[in-house]
Structure 1
Amino acid sequence: MDAPTEAPVDVPAEEPAEEPVEEPAAEPAALCDAADPSLIACFAFEGDPGDGSQHRFKPEQAENLSYEPGKGGQALRVTRRSSLRFRHDAAWAAPAMTIDVWINPASLPKHGRYAVIDSGGKPSIFLMASGEIRCTMGVERNVPHAVVPGEWTHIACLSDGQTQSLYVNGVEIDRSSAGAVLASGEQPIFIGSEEPSGGDEFDGLLDSLRVFGRTLAPEEICAAAGGKAC
């Protein structure tokens, strides 16, 4: 007698695996967050020298300025005839401070120095003829670093009133003891030239210049510098 034949068993077909859904990339943080109470001033230089912080500082003098493609969007072109000055404001009187900026010099000073930002020498950032970056908040420090003309370099100078640090391209290259951040008096703020003479003009492009009333964390500086080398 033949064995009974078993009925075929239906095996449900496997459903195709769902393709992973990629999350949209996060929007980059805005350079100038006017809602940030620690942001003293912020200059994106998108075709004008205005301040994007809550203070909306207006220049007292803005002469012979032009704008070119920069690190992000437009950048300020500074030459020997340029002048960008802001009146002193109580908002600058902070016990701690960070200044960060992208620079792209067309040349390096053969003698003397190029001013990036200056307020009576303190706070200030200069490029020196000796191939150094001068960062001054609580103490004047000339720090050797090879800035290359025609290339973008990110600089951050910061002090909490006791310790001053200098970061280049997101990496700390100098740290020292320091005193109070600000000089006495009510000096105006010069961008791209020395205060008070208006000399020592920068030669090249400045972009994304920010001033905070606090010390940025290393990861914040790294992010501002592009986050590649830090």
Structure 2
Amino acid sequence: MTGPADLASVRAAIDRLDDDVVALLARREELVRAAGRLKADGAAVRAPGRVEQVVARARERATAHGASPEAVERVYRAMIAAFVDLELATAAVADGVVVGPAAPGSAGEVLTLQRAAYVTEAQLYGDPGIPPLTETLEEVAAAVAAGTVLTATVGPRVVGAVRGELAGGVLSVGRLVVAPDRRGRGVGTALLAAVERTPGARRAVLFTGARSAGNLRLYRRAGYREERRERVSAGLELVHLAKDLPG
């Protein structure tokens, strides 16, 4: 096949193909969200067996079209990871989870959930005095009153929470917590997506400990990129991440 003769033409052809790819991804997202509404839980969404089938089929198609199977596999695994997060968020909504501003009077539930969630972090880093565990009820109530706290609820029960503080277009995200029995079911993903829709937010920033592998996986799948690392103490290194937002 004869291709474009100069770099500008090659780039223009790539741009046209990318337009087609994005249009197809938009259609795929619609189908993924529809699938999420039909699945029972996070395990059904992740479906590792189904993922491997999709990847194997993509490799076969790559070979048939003269493309690198290894390159296509890397692209597909990244794409699947991103769409799994979208599907998990949709599944959480379908599972009766409602995400919205924390209700007045919910500070006690939020603090109880926060302390339960951060105990494992404190154990991981050997520090029982981390701020989420030492924060007072009055401080949480003030955050709720200020409108910076979002909660995920199922009926009257709070099953997750997150905070977002906006300053100069930069949204500082923190205190993302999910009840132990609701983990792996899209609640964290749904909360993160909701706080990122804060009006006026153009960029989101957050941090987590370098040993918190689950947190790092969640944030990276959600589009956050590592910006820097900060050594706080001999046993604690913080990873600072950021993400540009559509707004």
Would you tell me which structure has more helix in proportion to its own residues? Answer: 2
TM-score exceeds 0.5: no
> TM-score by structure 2 length?
0.23
Whichever of the two has the greater Rg, that structure is 1
Would you tell me which structure has more strand in proportion to its own residues? Answer: 1
Higher relative contact order (CA 8 A, sep 6+): 1
